Structures are given as structure tokens and as C-alpha cells.
Amino acid sequence: MKADYSLVMAAAGTLLSVIWLAVYMKGIADYRQMSSSKALQRLKFSGLFPAGFGIMKCCGMNAGSSRFASRRDNITEIYGEHYAVFYTLIHTAAQLSYASFLVPVSLLAGAAAGSVMTAAAGILSAALMLYVIDGEVKKKVEEKHGLVMCELPDIIVRLTLLLNAGMVLRDAWNTVAESTDTALGREMRQTGSDIRNGMPETEAFNSFAQRCRTREIRKFSGALVQNLKKGSAGLSVCLQNLADEQWDEKKNYIRRKSAASEQKLLFPMLMIFTAIIMMIIVPVFTNMM
């Protein structure tokens, strides 16, 4: 019976390997066009990626379609809207490449070992690979949100001081943006560049909010857009009130992060405590026996 399973796994693994090589050859032209991309080079085992490009081509997958909207939104926050489709294509190709490579390899390994569990574990790993890269992207987005949350109050205060000193909003914005090399500062510099290139200020600030996609940034951007439409007479007062509110938000965020860190430490501490108790109790019972 075990030999029958091994034969089936070997046949399936061989067939899938042939199919994998075929789609690999189909996608190699697309891979060569992007092989110089730093994003492609940063991902591990990029030599497998022609298979992912081939699968996308065979299945008619379009990284700009609504099917990839959620992934594209997350990638937009990291790389910007201009490169969102490009990076979505690369990350999708990476997912498909890893998963499609692991399936035939797992079947062949299971056949060689005579173990269905080995093949099943490999196939499960292949399925998980479809979520690993998305998880990494979401982690980067969450980290960016945290950085923005911590930076925003200080940015608003500095912007308010410059406006009170007599600067117009555009000059004050560029001054603050150029003085900080943080995630929020880079987004502000992009907004300043958009305005210099002819984009209306209201549209540039709305685009800024779309790239950052946090409630706090949307409120900040909304205040700027609203005051641009009404006139900038009350902008300083509005920003000062918003700064006070954001300082409170920052304090609450830091408290939540601190509580989460304590919870992460709780399990290791329990494990250490259990190990210490065992080290004390086991010798006592051994001596009693």
C-alpha cells in the first residue's frame, strides 16, 4: 500500500514538475525585463520568479485589476501609488513562484521518503506561502502607521509655528518636509513635489491622505483642504487644536503598544517559571521515592 502511494506521489510530482518548467519558460521574458529591479533583488530566491510570471500570464491575471485591489492598497502605502501595480505584480509573482515550486518538490520528496505526511507537510507549506508575503507587507504598513502616529503631533506643531511666523502654507509645508527624514517627512516631500509639478494643493493633500491611509492623517489633510477652500485665516488655530488632540492620541498609542509588549513577554515568563518549578519539584519527588 505504501509503495502504491509512493508511485502516485512520484507520478504527480513528475507531471507537476514538467508543467512548472513549462510555465517557467513562458514567464522568463517578463522576468528578464524586471530582473534589474531592486524590489525583485530584495526578495529571496528570485530565480524562481519566472514561474510566477508564467502562471499569471497563463491565467490572465492583471495586477491592476479589482481582484488585487486590497493588496495594491497596502503596497501603495509602502511604495507609492505610481509604483503600486508594478510592486503588486512582483509580490504576486513571488507568492505563486514559491507555492508552485514547493508542491512538486514536496510530492517527490514524499515519494522518495515513502511518507504521505512529508508530502502533505510540504503542500501545506506551499499553501502558507500564499499568505507569507502579504503578511510581511501588512506588517510594514502597520509599522508605518505607528511611525506616522508618533511623528504627526510634532509635525503639526512645527507647521503651526511657521504659519504663525508669517509663512504661507506651501512654504511652511516644504520647510517641515525638508527638515525631517522620516516616513511622514518623505510623504510630505512627495506632496510638495506634486504641488511644484502643477497638481492643485487640495488634490495633493488628498493624495497625501490616500498614501498614508490613517484616520489621523485624513483628519489632518481634511483640515488643510477645508481651510484652503475657506481661506487660511483660522488655519493656525485649527492646527493647534488638532496638535493637542494628536498628542493625546500618541500617548494612548504608546500605552497600547506597551501593554501589547507586556502580553508578549507573559508567555516566556510563564515558561521560565514552570521550568524553575519543575527543577525544584522533580528532585524532591525523586529523593522521596
Cα 15 to Cα 19: distance, rounded to the nearest angstrom: 6
Return residue ranges of the chain for CATH 1.20.81.30. 146-255
- pTM listed for this prediction: 0.65
Q: Is residue 64 classed as helix, strand or coil in its secondary structure?
A: coil
Mean pLDDT, residues 2-13 taken together: 80
pLDDT reported for residue 275? 62
> Residues 71-84: pLDDT tens digits?
888 887 777 677 78
> Residues 103-140: pLDDT tens digits?
999 888 888 888 888 888 888 888 888 788 788 888 88
pLDDT reported for residue 260? 59
Check pLDDT > 60 for residue 148. Answer: yes
pLDDT reported for residue 21? 92
pLDDT reported for residue 19? 92
> Residues 216-274: pLDDT tens digits?
888 888 888 887 777 666 777 788 788 877 777 777 766 766 665 556 666 666 666 66
User: Which one, of 234, 222, 225, 221, lies nearest residue 164 by Cα?
Assistant: 234
User: Which one, of 87, 110, 90, 78, lies nearest residue 30 by Cα?
Assistant: 90
107 with 15: CB under 8 angstroms?
Answer: no
| Cα 246 → chain centroid | 24
Mean pLDDT, residues 278-287 taken together: 60
Q: Cell triple for residue 218?
A: 485624513
Cα 84 to Cα 185: distance, rounded to the nearest angstrom: 20
> Residues 13-59: pLDDT tens digits?
899 999 999 999 988 888 887 777 766 667 777 788 888 888 888 88
pLDDT reported for residue 287? 60
pLDDT reported for residue 22? 92
pLDDT reported for residue 1? 46
Return the higher-pLDDT residue of 280 and 249.
249
Answer CATH for 146-255 from 2.60.40.10, 3.40.1350.10, 1.20.81.30, 1.20.1250.20: 1.20.81.30
Which residue type does 180 have?
T
pLDDT reported for residue 124? 86
